[in-house]
Structure 1
Amino acid sequence: MTTTAVSPDVVADLAADDLAPGRAVTLLQRVLMPRGADPRKVRALYLDEVRSEKVHVASRSTGHLSAGDEVSFATYFNAFPAGYWRRWTSLTSVTLQLRISGTCRIDVYRSKGNGDVLHALGTTVEGQGRTVELDLDLTPFVEGGWYWFDVTADDGTIIEDAGWYADREPLRPGRLAVGICTFNRPVDCVAALQTVAADPVLDAELAAVVVADQGNLKVRDEASFPEVADQLGDRLHLVEQGNLGGSGGFARAMHETLTTTDATHLVFLDDDVQLEADSLHRALTFARFTDEPTLVGGQMLSLQDRSVLHTMGESVDRRLMKYRSAPYAAVGHDFAHHSLRDARHLHRRVDVDYNAWWMCLIPREVAEHIGLPLPLFIKWDDAEYGMRAGAAGYRTVTLPGAAIWHLSWTDKDDATDWQAYFHARNQLIVAALHSPLKRAEDIVRGNVRADIRHLFRLEYSAVALHLKAYRDFLAGPQDLFRQLPGVLAEVRAERARYSDGQVITERARIPLPQMGQDATEGMVHPPVAKRAIVRAALQALRNNVRPVQDAEGRPQVELPARDAQWFVLAQLDSASVATADGRGVTVRRRDPATFWRLARESVRLNLEIARRFPRARQQYRDSYADLTSAKNWESVFEA
């Protein structure tokens, strides 16, 4: 089945005694069949069926192969990420257990960190309901690599209840609390609760589910809520509070877990994810085998294109204080086009600074030691928590094969919509708390460059929100808790003052452009040479000296989101621009007076940040304990 050349020292077939069950003690991850309704693209996350008929799926744990089928489990959810278990846990071996009915050949392969594939062992199995176990060494995986197995059916074969096991009990107990922060997504939230409640493995590990409901469309009013509430019983903690953002919702979930449950681990989940339930079990079990308490995160698959691994892990550039993909992390890999076997870049172990809170497991002792999240509303709270944990000696591991489906960033405008305020303010707060540099010249230079680029793109509202963020950062940490309940309304009101901050979704209100698409056809090609870039920027500045010809008329052109670049919009007086999700447009109008007012204020405030950063840095660090204390959070919860 495997197309890559195997090692010349192929291990001989195992004897019957070598396959006898009895060594598998703790389930690490189940081998999962796709759901019956999953399209072939999604099935590629579970089965490589290139050389077989479509496997008949009887259940999530049972698959039927026809005679002659060759099926590989070298897939995202079913291969075993041996490199991570080798590096971060106490295990020295792993056991593959399967129950087989029929006659088939099982071959196990392993990969190296560079993607080379080697044959590990193989055997022929025959019988009805026969359980076999194959022991596999974890020693040669320091730099990364996976285990997987292929099955070749000699006749009709049933595979059921397969899984990867440890030969021992975990180092520490495991009682899981699931914390969900939700805002006006009752359908999605209840769907996540149903997934958790329906899983028998999770059910045995589940201590609590804490839902922090911050919206006015209540989870309790969803039609299917009573049924799932009955399934979860007194393990369900539904808490309703005002909208305190993601940080406030997750802080409440953490606080409730620490004060009202005996859970040893808490996993944060976004309310807008689709969940593979075994991901929670995998994260919990991994954490139970680590030598030291470890945060374990799930990776992100794209909700819009479900066979695509959107990101493998995140890190933070401490000098510029920007989050980014971790070094060597694959981005946008489509398993429907390239299987795990064929993707050499997916085999190296990727180390991270933090895990986003779409799915992140936090041990109880870590939360008790380092405190609750910062009161940031949204943005940077997850990164800061991972950085804080790292500074306290607790590692974060983003575990392949543990994942959720989440809306990818390509469908969001969060750098330019109301969230722009939180990006800018919270970046500065986290820099004050975690940057190794005592001065912020690199950060403020980046801020000014970004603001000028937004101004060239006629995104005046984004810059106005940045200016508010700069002022609020300079005001110090003392008002962060007080601002939480009302800050979103302030931000939305400021954004609405500008036409580019007003999204038009009704078809009849979307204005017709003055010119057709041919008007911008030659404008969308970016300047590449340094001289061409400088020339385009100077022309953009000159354009903001001359008056606007028609300040209130129909926009000159209509642009898709991908073409709304600075070198295009800087040549125009107006344009209607599609939002990233394609649901509406904003009308952007050049206004020289606004351009220069915002530009001058950006420069002034960033110079002020550079001058005052050493003192601000000390202020925020002196307030760290107060900003993460349960007592201060309780005062907000009870308000």
Structure 2
Amino acid sequence: MHDNDLSIHAVATDTDDGNILSSRSTYSNYSSEIDRYVLQPVIMTAPAFAKIPGLYYTALIGGVRQINDFLFLNRGCKIGFNNYINSFYASYWHKYTNLRAISLSGKVKGTGILHLFRSTPNGRTYSIGSYPIGEVESENTFHIHFNLFEYMPSDGGPGRYFFDIEATTDLEVKSLAFCAFTPPATAPSFSIGICTYRKEEYVTNIALNLSAYTTQHPGIISDIIIVNNDRSPNNILVIAELAESNDIFHLIDQSNIGGAGGFARTLDYSMEHSNSDHHIFMDDDVYIDTNVLERLWAFVAYSKIQHVIGGQMMDMHRPHILYEGGAKLDYWGFLQKIGDNIDASSSQEATFYDKVRDVDYNAWWFACVPKSKAANIGLPLNIFIRGDDFEYGLRLRAKQNVTTVSLPGLFIWHEPFSEKTASWLEYYNWRNRFIICSLYADREKLDIQPVEMLRDILVDCLESGREEVALAMCLAIVDFLAGPKSVLAVDAERLHEGVRASLKRLSNDTGSFAAILKDRLQGDTDPSMRQVVTLLRSPRLGGRQRTSETIRWAGKDYVGAVDRVLALYEANVDAAMSQWKQEAHGLATREAWSALYWKPKSA
């Protein structure tokens, strides 16, 4: 049953200060093998290992063999775990959890020496100690203890722990993990929401991977909700069969109302039907090493208060490269990536996360949201793609004081965005940027773009022959100024088709730019309006009015149409910002979204 108000009934509850009180997970991080509570398993064997072994460990002396699920080192060999994936990021655990005493524990057969190190935010590396481990003829469990608060003020924080293992006899390394001595106060559980559109092979592989994982590790994932924006389950038959045979899987078919619509539907379903207390948004074109789900569980379980916990993005085409670890918005609402282009196999570049990197949001290739907080702010906005994730992250921070932590060592591989360059994407980039700046502008840290900036960017597009991008930007301005109801309360698929049709028309007829804009404006401008900011007055053109003799596009009929769009923006942007701020979130209710969900004719 859907509610009519903005709030959503969530399964879990918490106090106003964010302290977690309840959960329904049956999973425990206690390991009887090593008699500790596992925080971060050291990943030694993984499906990606054959392709990129340096991500997990490096042979420093001699060689190392992977035998089944353990590592074998001949006597005298030495391996290092000084890398992005297997470092323990003490700065994050120190800041966001109540843990202070940590154990590096493991199980080995044979003898060796474990060398423990700490790398600090101020660029120093300390040797913590060298510790004998193991027994010659039998399997043996070892524990090496350290405290997160054992650092000097000059270090800049607790930093990051890593280690090497040196074999003094032939050595089998069975398991390794950073652990706690005490259980967490809560045991979180997660639902996963995936929105897919014509990515059948990707999403099927994800589903099969998660199906195997949930069978082997029951209790962490309670529900997997896959929303198919292509209407028919016939194109993802494997998932349809999983949904029939496995109670964890749920498949929903709907029209293509974008990633925003798909993700909103997964959260809506989770709120209504899942006992989970957290919901993970995850893209359909990713590869996830499911080992990281235990890392997520432990970090959430031991956190002082609730946060959005983000997984970081590795580049699927360059699988050793960390593409992004969260992002911040600059003053004009443009994204600034954090952790950009880091070699995750490099011991030197692993130092980037020796200190906590603050972010404004984490993209929904993998982001875990506390449902009790989401219940108080409604569903994501109906903005199709490009920005639904950071709008929701900013909303959680503004309305619930829930900040985002992009956690190093929690990662997925994702298709790089460098290949996603269609001009229609710029429509969403700009329109949604205007919307987000309207909702969260404070004039000190964030503000909407001034008309002069838009004018100069349009000039750059026209100078470089990117008329389609310029048109997409103009359409975004017009639709933003039309107000929230014209965007959020309409069928996003139909709006999307209209944008693409306009850009295709321009591609087929380069002289149609002005006509397309005039049709969209529909006389919505005052011809007597005084206008100072015009294309030909842009300082990008030399700071003075120019002619078609020196500017190839100066005599085009679209110049006047674009100038009218700029005039409309200049005259109405403040009123539009106010309207978006007052009305937008009221259009993100379950009732509003339900009116937009596609329903089969037989329904």
Q: Which digits, 9 at most, give the CA deviation of each residue in 1:77-117, with x for residues without a partner?
A: 21111111100111112222200001111111111112311
Q: Which digits, 9 at most, give the CA deviation of each residue in 1:164-202, with x for residues without a partner?
A: 222222233311101101000111001111222222665
For structure 2, the residue ranges without an aligned partner over 5 or more in a row are 1-30, 511-537
Q: 1:118 to 1:603 in 2, by over 3 A?
A: farther
Q: Distance in 2 between matches of 1:324 and 1:637?
A: 33
Identity level (%): 25
Provide the secondary structure at the position in 2 that maps to 1:132.
strand
- 1:347-496 superposed matches below 5 A: 347-391=354-398, 392-414=400-422, 417-437=423-443, 442-479=449-486, 480-496=488-504
Q: Distance in 1 between matches of 2:237 and 2:448?
A: 54
Q: 1:429 to 1:27 in 2, by over 3 A?
A: same
Q: What residue identity is the alignment partner of 1:81? A: Y
For 2:142, the equivalent position in structure 1 comes to 132
TM-score by length of 1: 0.77
Q: Distance in 2 between matches of 1:52 and 1:605?
A: 67
Q: Which digits, 9 at most, give the CA deviation of each residue in 1:228-268, with x for residues without a partner?
A: 5577x111110010001010000001000000110111111
Q: What residue identity is the alignment partner of 2:440? A: H
Shift of 1:638: 4.8
For 1:498, the equivalent position in structure 2 comes to 506
Provide the secondary structure at the position in 2 that maps to 1:169.
coil
Shift of 1:600: 3.8
For 1:122, the equivalent position in structure 2 comes to 130
Q: What residue identity is the alignment partner of 1:474? A: L
For 2:17, the equivalent position in structure 1 comes to none
For 1:606, the equivalent position in structure 2 comes to 566
For 2:519, the equivalent position in structure 1 comes to none
For 2:224, the equivalent position in structure 1 comes to 209
Q: 1:131 to 1:243 in 2, by over 3 A?
A: same
For 2:322, the equivalent position in structure 1 comes to 309
Q: Distance in 2 between matches of 1:196 and 1:242?
A: 25
The number of aligned residues is 532
Q: What residue identity is the alignment partner of 1:496? A: K
Q: Pairwise CA RMSD of aligned residues?
A: 2.9
Contact 1:79–1:146 (CA under 8 A) maintained in structure 2: yes
1:196 equivalent in alignment to 2:156: no
| 1:44 pairs with one of 27, 48, 54 | 54
Q: What residue identity is the alignment partner of 1:389? A: L
For structure 1, the residue ranges without an aligned partner over 5 or more in a row are 1-19, 503-533, 547-569, 571-589
Contact 2:325–2:362 (CA under 8 A) maintained in structure 1: no
Contact 1:24–1:166 (CA under 8 A) maintained in structure 2: no
- 1:16-27 superposed matches below 5 A: 24-27=35-38
Contact 1:321–1:443 (CA under 8 A) maintained in structure 2: no
TM-score by length of 2: 0.82
Q: What residue identity is the alignment partner of 2:111? A: T
Q: 1:421 to 1:47 in 2, by over 3 A?
A: same
Q: 1:462 to 1:535 in 2, by over 3 A?
A: closer
Q: 1:601 to 1:292 in 2, by over 3 A?
A: farther
| 2:266 pairs with one of 238, 248, 253 | 253
Q: Distance in 1 between matches of 2:217 and 2:176?
A: 17
Q: 1:287 to 1:410 in 2, by over 3 A?
A: same
Provide the secondary structure at the position in 2 that maps to 1:130.
strand
For 1:14, the equivalent position in structure 2 comes to none
Q: What residue identity is the alignment partner of 2:334? A: K
Q: What residue identity is the alignment partner of 1:276? A: D
Shift of 1:603: 3.8
Provide the secondary structure at the position in 2 that maps to 1:256.
helix
For 2:65, the equivalent position in structure 1 comes to 55
Q: Distance in 2 between matches of 1:26 and 1:386?
A: 31
- Tell me which moved more, 233-242 or 138-147: 138-147
Shift of 1:36: 6.4
Q: Distance in 1 between matches of 2:150 and 2:32?
A: 24
Q: 1:341 to 1:470 in 2, by over 3 A?
A: closer
Q: 1:199 to 1:473 in 2, by over 3 A?
A: same
Shift of 1:360: 0.3
Q: Distance in 2 between matches of 1:636 and 1:202?
A: 36
Shift of 1:39: 4.4
Provide the secondary structure at the position in 1 that maps to 2:375.
helix
Q: Which digits, 9 at most, give the CA deviation of each residue in 1:299-341, with x for residues without a partner?
A: 1111110001112220112x3111112xxx43212234xx235
Shift of 1:162: 1.7
Q: Distance in 2 between matches of 1:197 and 1:381?
A: 28
Contact 1:268–1:357 (CA under 8 A) maintained in structure 2: yes
Q: What residue identity is the alignment partner of 1:623? A: E
Provide the secondary structure at the position in 2 that maps to 1:83.
helix
For 1:113, the equivalent position in structure 2 comes to 121
Shift of 1:372: 0.9
Q: Distance in 1 between matches of 2:340 and 2:508?
A: 30
Q: What residue identity is the alignment partner of 1:620? A: W
Contact 1:47–1:75 (CA under 8 A) maintained in structure 2: yes
For 2:168, the equivalent position in structure 1 comes to 154
For 1:181, the equivalent position in structure 2 comes to 195
